[in-house]
């Protein structure tokens, strides 16, 4: 039995539909599911998920990796269909469909399946924006390595529940963590880099809570010399949270939203953490704040020289 109870994983349902005729072909994910959700093979034999609802979910989005279509059925209900266009992304797409089905089990009465599916689909924009090889870029991998490095420390200090619940980076929040000690924004850089990038006006604009920059400096290293690959660090955290079911499930979901799946490519390159610099975004810290800018400026990105931030460095960690 998997963590979704008696509901088969979506891959097994697609396998059972393979070879069926005529296409498209569908099978309800479970007779006990509160939403009308169906595993499907569409007219082109592409794997997917179908949601039937009484109300239209509205305008459907456009994605490079997934076809989203909406149709009014003869019985007056609305069919929202997801079909995978890029087969190399199938493991991540299957994980997404499984999460939709799992989260759907918790929905309140009256929830419209089409709208629900599109809402969860929107959380996977990073997955759907991956290139044709389905891999994170080098910069994205380093950024995720930095966030996972801080997550391991947060688990050690606050425990799996609070640490994983506080990881907000995959949710595209302005700051990567909200922990009992305050907000933490992680900057992962290669050793010797002279500056860090600030990606939005909101990233350092915190008025009521503590905000700390954790600047993780990494250097490439040979395997077995004390470093971590992205895959090995994920394995470390899986071990840290293995005995806590809710944090373990949440961690896997956040990994997928960050664009990570278990791929051999993520085990190839290893980095050694040279040091972590902890910088307090306190009064007088050089940053741009929306309240201080002319109203016509809607957003902005900028860089900070690390040497200029030395007066704000603090001892300790989280």
Q: For residue range 206-254, list pLDDT tens digits in order.
A: 876 799 999 999 999 999 898 999 999 999 999 999 998 889 989 988 9
> What is residue 2's predicted lDDT score, i.e. its pLDDT?
43
pLDDT grade for 285, boundaries at 50, 70 and 90: very high
Strands (E), the chain: 25-28, 36-41, 47-53, 66-72, 78-84, 177-179, 182-190, 195-198, 211-221, 270-280, 302-305
Least trusted range by pLDDT, from 5-9, 20-24, 95-99, 135-139: 5-9
pLDDT grade for 129, boundaries at 50, 70 and 90: confident
pLDDT above 80: residue 265? yes
> What is residue 1's predicted lDDT score, i.e. its pLDDT?
35
**Which of 299, 305, 306 has its CA nearest to residue 200?**
299
Whether pTM > 0.75 for this model: the answer is yes
Residues 11, 94: contact at Cβ < 8 Å?
Answer: yes
Using one digit for the tens of pLDDT, what is the confidence trace for 151-189? 999 999 999 999 999 999 998 899 999 999 999 999 999
> What is residue 3's predicted lDDT score, i.e. its pLDDT?
43
> What is residue 131's predicted lDDT score, i.e. its pLDDT?
66
């Amino acid at each position: 039995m998997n963590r979704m109870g008696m509901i088969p994983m979506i891959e097994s349902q697609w396998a059972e539909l393979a070879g069926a005729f005529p296409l498209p072909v569908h099978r309800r994910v479970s007779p006990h599911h509160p939403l009308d959700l169906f595993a499907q093979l569409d007219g082109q034999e592409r794997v997917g998920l179908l949601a039937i609802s009484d109300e239209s979910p509205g305008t459907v989005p456009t994605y490079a990796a997934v076809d989203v279509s909406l149709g009014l059925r003869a019985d007056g209900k609305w069919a929202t269909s997801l079909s995978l266009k890029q087969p190399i992304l199938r493991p991540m797409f299957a994980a997404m469909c499984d999460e939709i089905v799992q989260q759907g089990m918790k929905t309140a009465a009256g929830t419209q399946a089409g709208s629900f599916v599109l809402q969860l689909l929107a959380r996977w924009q990073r997955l759907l924006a991956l290139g044709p090889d389905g891999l994170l870029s080098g910069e994205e991998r380093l950024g995720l390595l930095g966030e996972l490095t801080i997550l391991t420390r947060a688990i050690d200090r606050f425990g799996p529940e609070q640490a994983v619940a506080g990881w907000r980076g995959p949710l595209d929040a302005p700051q990567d963590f909200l922990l009992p000690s305050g907000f933490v924004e992680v900057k992962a850089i290669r050793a010797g880099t002279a500056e860090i990038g600030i990606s939005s006006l909101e990233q350092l604009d915190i008025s009521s809570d503590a905000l700390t920059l954790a600047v993780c400096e990494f250097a490439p290293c040979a395997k077995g010399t004390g470093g971590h690959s992205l895959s090995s660090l994920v394995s470390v955290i899986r071990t840290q949270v293995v005995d806590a079911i809710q944090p373990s499930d949440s961690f896997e979901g956040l990994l997928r939203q960050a664009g990570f799946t278990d791929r051999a490519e993520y085990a190839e390159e290893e980095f050694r953490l040279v040091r972590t610099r902890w910088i307090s975004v306190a009064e007088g810290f050089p940053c741009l704040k929306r309240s201080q800018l002319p109203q016509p400026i809607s957003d902005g990105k900028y860089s900070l020289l690390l040497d200029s931030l030395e007066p704000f460095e603090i001892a300790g960690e989280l």
